[in-house]
Amino acid sequence: MVKYIYQYSNWPNLTWDEKEIQVILGKVRHLQGKIFGQISALGFSIKEETMLSTLTLDVLKSSEIEGELLNYEQVRSSIARRLGLDYAGMVSPDRNVEGVVEMMLDATQNYRKPLDEERLFGWHAALFPTGRSGMYKIDAGCYRKGEMQVVPRPMGKEKIHYQAPPPEQVQYEMDIFIEWFNSDTKIDLVIKSAIAHFRFIIIHPFDDGNGRIARAISDLLLARSDNSSQRFYSLSNQIMLERKVYYDTLQKIQYKDGEITEWLDWFLKCLYRALKNTERTVEKVLYKADFWDKHKYTELNSRQRLMLNKLLDGFEGKLKTSKWAKITKCSQDTALRDIKDLIEKSILKQEISGGRSTNYELDE
């Protein structure tokens, strides 16, 4: 008979090899500090834009992991409005978008507040404002009253991947979880974020939305670990990129007797990769800010400014005179004059690769 992790006598006392995860934890902590240092050098508007983009990505990807695709503009508008940020082209979001945003922002902006049943029920009710998940009626804003089996799609190939604790055990499990979450456990908050995520998924206390709430709980503890409500990296985006390994690792550990080193190792490495992506983005933003600071008195026309911004943002493919002409809606002759002017100003240079067609790139 299959035995799940919560059926062992030592549950929920989880164990791990401290030595094995110490190196990657050190790297994560170092990178968190480095990114916050770089971000503090950015101007206020760039900082706001970076945070808005990160939170939007986080909400979109956390839902996408569960197979739900939200509208980008609606998510962005909902976040901007709630944070009091103005930008052109704001749209009215759907109720379900508002609910996901509400939960995510409560987790990250009110990260100092304790977690309690009322708050979790509020998150769950916000995720399912109609009391339905797709076509199915669910219990929203309360713990589940029925058995919970995780059966992955596609239909017709049903194989139980996981059987959660019985419904009569959920209240007891959640009481212990909430008490542990709010107590000073002396565990590094990044590690605590990984453990909280895992424990919540194992208990599976709700009819639906457990994955999204587990990731919101992780984000809450990561905000505590940064001691900041400002979010500049998205764990959910990285989990989406590594979704198969995410599920495979969770599945493997659910049969263990409480030893979770493999889960912590994967979670920390996933977080590290998320931070690395942010570091690259921030470096680009800093480079762009530095570039325009250096050229604030350089005489440039609107076509040149447009194309330089495109190059600084990571232009796709090779820059040729014909592309310049097409994007800026000018003649090839005008495009060539614009480019030659920038070469004389040591802003552009001809690509060394040569070949039959001439390509241009930024002169670093």
What is the spatial distance between Cα 245 and Cα 120, in angstroms, rounded to a whole number?
27
User: What is the separation of C-alpha 6 from the centre of its chain, rounded to a whole number of angstroms?
Assistant: 29
- Expressed in percent and rounded to 5, the helix, strand and coil fractions of the chain are 60, 5, 35
7 by DSSP, 3-state: which? helix
pLDDT at residue 211, as a whole number: 97
Structure tokens that stand for 17 in this block: 């090899």
Half-sphere exposure of 341 (CA within 13 A, CB side): 14
Query: Whole-angstrom Cα distance, residue 200 to residue 215?
Result: 10
Fold (topology level) of 299-362: Arc Repressor Mutant, subunit A (1.10.10)
Tokens of 128: 């399912």
- Specify the CATH number of the domain 5-287: 1.10.3290.10
At residue 112, the pLDDT reads 98
The domain locations on the chain are 5-287, 299-362
Positions of the chain with pLDDT lower than 50, given as ranges: 155
| pTM for this model (two decimals) | 0.88
Residue carrying the six token digits 């809606």: 329
155: left (phi over 0), alpha (psi -120 to 50) or beta: beta
Q: Which two tokens stand for residue 268?
A: 């920390």
Two tokens, residue 352: 């060394």
